[in-house]
Amino acid sequence: MADFLEIDCKLEDIIPEKTLKTRTPQFKQTRTIRPAPPRYRNEISKYIILRNEERCIKCGQCVEMCPQGVHIKSPGYKYFAQPKSHLCFGPVCEKKGCYCITACPQGALRIQENPMMKSLGDYRWPAEMILATWKMAENGECPSEDYGYEFETGNSDGGFDRIRFKFPDRPPIELKEEEIDTSIELNRRHDGRARIRIDVPWYGGGMSFGSVSNTTQLSKARAAVAWNTFSCTGEGGFMERMRPYDDHMITQVATGLFGVREETIQRVPIVEFKYAQGAKPGLGGHLLGDKNTQAVAKMRETVIGISLFSPFPFHSVYSIEDHMKHIDWIKHINRRALISTKVSTPNDVDMVAVGSYSAGTHIIHLDGGYGGTGAAPDIAKKNIAMPIEYAIPRVHNFLVAEGARDQVTLVASGGIRNPYDVAKAIALGADGVVIGTMEMVALGCVRCNRCSTGRGCPRGIATTDKVLAAKIDLEWGAQRLINTYNAWRNEIVSILRRLGVRSVSELRGRSDLLMHLDYTNAVVEHEA
């Protein structure tokens, strides 16, 4: 049982007897890093090595020379096995004196950039960012610089992709990595409810059973347990098999109210109201009929095969006062729960945030216009509501001006792809972030955008098809996420150390540590 739940009172005092009876022992998961190798036979690589078999004399010099083990010639075999191109550093080896291409006495080897790098990913998630995330998921560390992956920014030409940290030559204070604190507090209201602190400045975003598979949801939940953070049920209800993860789950109350019951609200430490989603603001959730399988329909109490479109908005909420009634309703049903309010980013997002704070929410969750989704109209993804990079400073500054900033936790999502985005979001004014797409990529997503229809994700991640979902083993999936979380945390610690900042909390609002490539950067106003 998580310690934070019993700080102020005992569970039996605040959880109704019936719900307490159904409570199951909570799952234990260590954050040990173990290799979680790719699950496909051929890993996609930045470079490909081509061997001219007619020229090659099988001398094995390439095998001996390559520190990465790209070339393989097993004892007793005459021919080489396929090269492990995904381990190849490429031309950088020339400087290191281990470049197989020039070292081959017969000139039998040739290297070229993989043409598939052009077809993998997109502007926001370019191929190198995907490959780097896969490396993190495999080993728990950011890929070595030798790989030359440019994963810190994408190619969208705006927002986070044009913002950089102003790293000093030497940090103003020398910090050891173990002195740096990456935890954040989720309840700043001092209202007698649990003082929940998570060890990393992010938690997992809502992905319903229906949009993703059971295995994907459980993998996310296990990673949340390992890193003492949270995962979210999404809109599709709270599966029975999630019970051992209750203490690290956020249950979502969205406009469709699928699977929302008093009992599911009472089980968790955080309840999230989803007013809107960044990928489709103002439209409500979409689950197309093909993915509404028997299991999904049962969970959502709907008819199999029917497309499910949640309404927008909550038809019981047309004002902040109505919103307050909603919050009071949840607070009454679950007397220990923190309340998170997830909104997208309209022009008046600052007003919405302050209104939600005054209504009693603990966490304001901004989901930017470029956020992830299992299915959304293309017209909505691109055109409605502002990107998160604009919304964070707007809301942060408004909360500061209203004197409310230190009583509420501000988290942001919708385009957080790597640890640099996390740090930039925090420096712009967020306390932490919510992630989603990164977890999918860590599990092997190639961003082919096919999660919406038919059997769903051909990679077995965002699918409810049993055959496809079986492509992912739960242990493997959980380990991939645990590893990626570790890589992200290490990179954030490294960023803070280089900046001479002791904690993530100290980084909040430090936009003076940022620069924008499209601006003069001559005027820097520090909003603490």
Partner 1 sequence: MPEKYHIATKPVPPRRPRIGKYGIVDWREDCARCHNCVKKACVYDRHRDEIKYIRNLDSVDSLFFDCMGCFSCVQDCTKNLLCLSINPEYEKLGNSYWTPEIIQTTWAQAETAKIPVSGAGYGGKFSGYGFDSMWTDMSEIVRPTRDGIHGREYISSAVDIGHNSSFLVLNGDEVVSPLSPILSIPMPLVIDRIPDKYALPKLDAIIVETAVKTGLIALVDARKWPLTDVDADKYLPHIAFYFASDAAMLPEEILKKTRLAEIEDDRNVKSHIRELKKIHPGIVVAVRVELTAGGIQRAIDLADEDVEVIHIAADSNGQEIGSEHPMFIKDMIRKVHRSLIENGRRDDVTIIAGGGIALPEHMAKGVLCGADLVSIELPLLVGLECHLCHQCGDSHTCPAKIQEISLSYGVGRMTNLISAWHDQLIELMGAMGMRDARRLRGDVGRAMFFEQLEEEAFGRLFGNRLQA
AA identity, residue 34: R
Site residues for partner 1, 448-477, by CB under 8 A, read 448-459, 462, 468
Give the relative orientation of helices 474-499 and 127-139 as an angle to the nearest 10 degrees: 110
- Using the contact rule CB under 8 A, the part of the chain among 14-22, 25-33, 224-232, 275-283 near partner 1 is 275-283
Q: How far apart are CA 61 and CA 250, in angstroms?
A: 55
Which position among 267, 300, 365, 447 is part of the footprint of partner 1 (CB under 8 A)?
A: 447
Q: Decide if residue 497 touches partner 1 (CB under 8 A).
A: no
DSSP helix/strand/coil, 305: coil
Q: Decide if residue 519 touches partner 1 (CB under 8 A).
A: yes
Compute the least distance from the CB of residue 486 to partner 1, in Å. Answer: 24
Burial of 358 (0-12, 13-18, 19+ CB in 10 A): middle
Site residues for partner 1, 311-370, by CB under 8 A, read 312-313, 315, 317-320, 322-323, 343-344, 346-349, 351-352, 355-356, 369-370
Which position among 94, 390, 407, 498 is part of the footprint of partner 1 (CB under 8 A)?
A: 390
Q: Decide if residue 140 touches partner 1 (CB under 8 A).
A: no
Q: How far apart are CA 469 and CA 463, in angstroms?
A: 6
Cβ atoms of residues 503 and 510 within 8 Å: no
- List C-alpha distances in Å: 489 to 171, 471, 482: 19, 28, 11
Site residues for partner 1, 146-165, by CB under 8 A, read 156-159, 161-162
Q: Decide if residue 242 touches partner 1 (CB under 8 A).
A: no
Compute the least distance from the CB of residue 157 to partner 1, in Å. Answer: 6
- In sequence order, the 6+-apart residues with CB closer than 8 A to the CB of 96 are 89, 146
- Using the contact rule CB under 8 A, the part of the chain among 89-97, 105-113, 273-281, 399-407 near partner 1 is 273-281
Residue 446 DSSP symbol: -
Compute the least distance from the CB of residue 346 to partner 1, in Å. Answer: 5
Residue 207 falls in which region: left (phi positive, over 0), alpha (psi -120 to 50) or beta: beta
Instruction: Give the total of residues touching partner 1 (CB under 8 A).
Output: 108
List the x/- string, 33-62, binding to partner 1 by CB under 8 A.
-------xxxxx------------------
Considering beta carbons, is residue 62 or 163 the nearer one to partner 1? Answer: 163
Looking from the CA of 475 toward its CB, the CA atoms found within 13 Å total: 5
Q: For the residues of 326-342, what is the DSSP string, one character each? A: HHHHHHHH-TT-EEEEE
Q: Decide if residue 230 touches partner 1 (CB under 8 A).
A: no
Cis peptide before 313 (omega within 30 of 0): yes
Structure tokens at 144: 């070595």
Considering beta carbons, is residue 14 or 461 the nearer one to partner 1? Answer: 461
Please name every residue paired with 181 in a beta bridge, in sequence order, or none if there are none.
503
Which position among 47, 202, 275, 357 is part of the footprint of partner 1 (CB under 8 A)?
A: 275
Q: Decide if residue 121 touches partner 1 (CB under 8 A).
A: yes
Considering beta carbons, is residue 122 or 199 the nearer one to partner 1? Answer: 122
Element (H, E) at 497: helix 474-499
Considering beta carbons, is residue 246 or 389 the nearer one to partner 1? Answer: 389
Q: Decide if residue 438 touches partner 1 (CB under 8 A).
A: no
Q: How far apart are CA 198 and CA 228, in angstroms?
A: 6
Q: How far apart are CA 389 and CA 385, in angstroms?
A: 12
Which position among 49, 207, 283, 507 is part of the footprint of partner 1 (CB under 8 A)?
A: 283
Considering beta carbons, is residue 17 or 378 the nearer one to partner 1? Answer: 378
Site residues for partner 1, 401-420, by CB under 8 A, read 414-415
Angle at 296 between CA 292 and CA 298, to 5 degrees: 120
Cβ atoms of residues 267 and 344 within 8 Å: no
Which position among 52, 74, 316, 383 is part of the footprint of partner 1 (CB under 8 A)?
A: 383
Q: Decide if residue 82 touches partner 1 (CB under 8 A).
A: yes
Considering beta carbons, is residue 260 or 283 the nearer one to partner 1? Answer: 283
Considering beta carbons, is residue 182 or 340 the nearer one to partner 1? Answer: 340
Q: Decide if residue 493 touches partner 1 (CB under 8 A).
A: no
Q: Decide if residue 437 touches partner 1 (CB under 8 A).
A: yes
Q: How far apart are CA 367 and CA 163, in angstroms?
A: 19
Compute the least distance from the CB of residue 382 to partner 1, in Å. Answer: 5
Q: Decide if residue 74 touches partner 1 (CB under 8 A).
A: no
